[in-house]
């Protein structure tokens, strides 16, 4: 069974958090695509099922699937996100050996330098400034390019290709295939180059990592690069943008954060809980019947985990619809749970702390240019992404 990976209006923002939660933590419904699913909106139920051995991935079904050649699929989808044990266990072990906490923490000075440069450019721009294009987008894409080891002279090409790949639904099949083919050719050449002359970057580390005689194949290497772009870049853009928007909508919380910047790590966790970058996880499927919350999920049924309402589950969080950066319990599911918990979560958190801290330090009077309007969001089942956020400095 293929998963309903289709760009449509978001489930949480279409029906509303309270409406979803009021009908029960697990419920059968039909998506806008016509696909029947078991929708999970409860926090405890989401955690339980994401760790359940009978909740598994099934083959991905993305935009333009029928137009993409098998070799392109093989070179972009052999990664951890779509794998089940034992394949997932093997891939995660190999990638974790290269994607270490030490490597992430070593990026902090460079992330600060990139953010500072972008803020300098914002200071000279005409107002209003679109925060997404000026700051939220270029910061993580630059970081991920440097982390992978993309040469500076090719980063504009890489950004153009990756934009098509990540936002495939808004491009034609021909545009998607062309960009993906060009990007794969570039990544293949980069792999060959780093095999011959390794450098201190993640791609060189992924090439070199070994578990006995086991190592990542070239298809697995290219797939990992594509996964880093989709999961490690796009979500961080939303973490920054959604976080800024939420704080500007809650001036009391922003003022508290300015006065007590030591609260920044906890504030980032609360922002992830309150308006995280994902509406839902990529769908799973039940490999066997599962009984949970008075509901029987039959074998073969698609399961969609609605992360936004789960993070606002009133059974888990008091005043769940309020932003409160002083919360002592900021547990959330913004990075998933179980074996597919986001490997890049420490990097996303680091970028979020740096981006928010430096932004409000540089522009303490930052405010929304159109405060009476909610910013437009990308139409998506999965992503919770603001398209543009005009601000006054």
CA dist., res. 23 & res. 18, Å (int): 9
Q: How confident is the model over 293-334, as pLDDT tens digits?
A: 999 999 999 999 999 999 999 889 999 989 999 998 889 999
Within a domain: 2: no
pLDDT at 3: 37
Within a domain: 121: yes
pLDDT at 20: 64
Distance of CA 68 to the CA centre of its chain: 24
Task: Please compute the mean of the pLDDT values over residues 184-192 and round it to a whole number.
Answer: 91
Which residue, 275, 312, 274, is CA-closest to 17?
312
Within a domain: 310: yes
Classify residue 3 as exposed, middle or buried by CB count within 10 Å of its CB (0-12, 13-18, 19+): buried
pLDDT at 65: 66
- Between 68 and 301, whose confidence is greater? 301
pLDDT at 383: 83
Q: How confident is the model over 217-228, as pLDDT tens digits?
A: 999 999 988 888
pLDDT at 348: 94
Task: Please compute the mean of the pLDDT values over residues 1-26 and round it to a whole number.
Answer: 53
**Residue 208 pLDDT > 60, yes or no?**
yes
Outline where DSSP puts E strands in 68-140: 129-130
* pLDDT band at residue 59 under the 50/70/90 scheme: low
pLDDT at 9: 42
Beta bridge partners of residue 36, listed in sequence order: 30
Task: Please compute the mean of the pLDDT values over residues 280-286 and round it to a whole number.
Answer: 91
CA angle 374, 377, 378 (to 5 degrees): 170
pLDDT at 22: 67
Task: Please compute the mean of the pLDDT values over residues 280-296 and round it to a whole number.
Answer: 93
* pLDDT band at residue 13 under the 50/70/90 scheme: low
Task: Please compute the mean of the pLDDT values over residues 334-349 and round it to a whole number.
Answer: 93
Determine how β-strand 302-305 pairs with β-strand 36-40: parallel
Within a domain: 3: no
115 DSSP assignment = H
pLDDT at 11: 47
Within a domain: 6: no
Q: How confident is the model over 126-147, as pLDDT tens digits?
A: 999 999 999 999 999 899 989 9
133 DSSP assignment = I
| Cα distances (angstroms) measured from residue 219 to each of 76, 86, 198, 201, 282 | 7, 18, 19, 19, 21
Sign of CA pseudo-dihedral 59, 99, 311, 168: negative
- Predicted TM-score (pTM) of this structure: 0.90
* pLDDT band at residue 76 under the 50/70/90 scheme: confident
Contact 389, 132 (CB under 8 A): yes
Question: What six digits make up the tokens of 136?
Answer: 């939220």
Within a domain: 97: yes
Contact 239, 348 (CB under 8 A): yes
Q: Which residue range(s) make up the domain with 227?
A: 11-392
CATH number at residue 304: 1.10.630.10
Task: Please compute the mean of the pLDDT values over residues 186-196 and round it to a whole number.
Answer: 91
Within a domain: 75: yes
Within a domain: 89: yes
* pLDDT band at residue 5 under the 50/70/90 scheme: very low
Outline where DSSP puts E strands in the chain: 26-30, 36-40, 55-56, 129-130, 284-286, 290-292, 295-297, 302-305, 367-368, 390-392
Which residue, 286, 309, 282, is CA-closest to 299?
286
**Residue 34 pLDDT > 90, yes or no?**
no
Percent of the chain with pLDDT over 90: 58
Domain count, the chain: 1
* pLDDT band at residue 377 under the 50/70/90 scheme: confident
Q: How confident is the model over 91-110, as pLDDT tens digits?
A: 999 999 888 888 999 999 99
CA dist., res. 67 & res. 64, Å (int): 5
Q: How confident is the model over 107-125, as pLDDT tens digits?
A: 999 999 999 999 999 999 9
The tally of CA atoms less than 13 A away on the side-chain side of residue 372 is 0
Q: What average pLDDT does the structure give for the chain? A: 88
CA dist., res. 338 & res. 19, Å (int): 27
Tokens 């330098």 map to which residue? 113
CA dist., res. 327 & res. 264, Å (int): 12
Percent of the chain with pLDDT over 70: 91
* pLDDT band at residue 170 under the 50/70/90 scheme: confident
pLDDT at 378: 79
CB-based contacts of 94, cutoff 8 Å, min separation 6 = 206, 209, 211, 214, 215, 216
pLDDT at 99: 87
């Amino acid at each position: 069974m293929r998963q309903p990976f289709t760009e449509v209006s978001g489930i949480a923002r279409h029906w509303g958090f309270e409406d979803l939660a009021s009908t029960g933590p697990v419920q059968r419904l039909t998506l806008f695509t016509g696909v029947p699913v078991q929708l999970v909106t409860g926090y405890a139920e989401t955690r339980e099922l994401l760790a359940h051995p009978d909740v598994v991935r099934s083959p991905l079904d993305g935009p333009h699937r029928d137009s993409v050649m098998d070799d392109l699929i093989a070179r972009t989808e052999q990664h951890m996100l779509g794998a089940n044990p034992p394949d997932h266990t093997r891939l995660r072990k190999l990638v974790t050996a290269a994607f270490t906490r030490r490597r992430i923490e070593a990026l902090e000075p460079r992330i600060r330098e990139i953010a500072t440069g972008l803020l300098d450019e914002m200071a000279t721009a005409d107002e209003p400034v679109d925060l997404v294009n000026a700051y939220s987008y270029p910061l993580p894409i630059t970081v991920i390019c440097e982390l992978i080891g993309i040469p500076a002279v090719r980063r504009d090409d890489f950004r153009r290709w990756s934009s098509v790949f990540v936002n495939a639904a808004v491009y034609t099949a021909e545009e998607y295939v062309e960009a993906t083919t060009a990007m794969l050719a570039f990544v293949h050449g980069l792999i060959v180059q780093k095999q011959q002359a390794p450098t201190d970057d993640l791609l060189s580390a992924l090439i070199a990592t070994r578990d006995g005689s086991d190592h990542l194949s070239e298809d697995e290497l290219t797939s990992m690069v594509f996964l880093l772009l989709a999961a490690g870049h796009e979500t961080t853009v939303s973490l920054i943008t959604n976080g800024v928007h939420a704080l500007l909508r809650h001036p009391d919380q922003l003022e508290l954060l300015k006065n007590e910047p030591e609260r920044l790590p906890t504030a980032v966790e609360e922002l992830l809980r309150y308006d995280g970058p994902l509406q839902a996880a990529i769908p799973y499927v039940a490999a066997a019947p599962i009984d949970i919350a008075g509901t029987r999920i039959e074998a073969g049924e698609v399961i969609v985990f609605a992360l936004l309402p789960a993070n606002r589950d009133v059974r888990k969080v008091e005043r769940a619809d309020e932003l409160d950066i002083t919360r002592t319990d900021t547990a959330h599911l913004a990075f998933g749970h179980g074996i597919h918990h986001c490997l890049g979560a420490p990097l996303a958190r680091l970028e979020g702390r740096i981006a928010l801290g430096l932004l409000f330090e540089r522009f303490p009077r930052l405010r929304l240019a159109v405060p009476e309007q909610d910013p437009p969001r990308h139409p998506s089942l999965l992503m919770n992404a603001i398209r543009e956020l005009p601000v006054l400095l």
